[in-house]
Amino acid sequence: MNVKSNARFRWPLLALALAATLLIAAPARATDVEPMLKVGADFGGDELVTVTFTNGDTRTIHANDGLFLGGGVSILNDERDVEAEISLSFKFDTINASNGQVTWSRWPLDALLFYRLPSMRVGAGLTYHINPELKGSGVVGNVFDKYDNALGFIVQADYSISERHHIGVRYTGIEYKLSAPGLQSTAKSNGFGLVFSASF
For the chain, what are the domain ranges? 2-199
Q: Is 199 left (phi over 0), alpha (psi -120 to 50) or beta?
A: beta
**Class for the domain spanning 2-199:** mainly beta
Closest Cα partner for 166 from 194, 191, 126? 194
pLDDT in tens, the chain (200 residues): 333 444 455 555 555 555 555 555 555 555 788 999 999 999 999 999 998 888 889 999 999 999 999 999 999 988 889 999 999 999 999 999 888 899 999 999 999 999 999 999 999 999 999 999 999 999 888 889 999 999 999 999 999 999 899 999 999 999 999 877 666 689 999 999 999 999 99
Rounded to two decimals, the pTM is 0.85
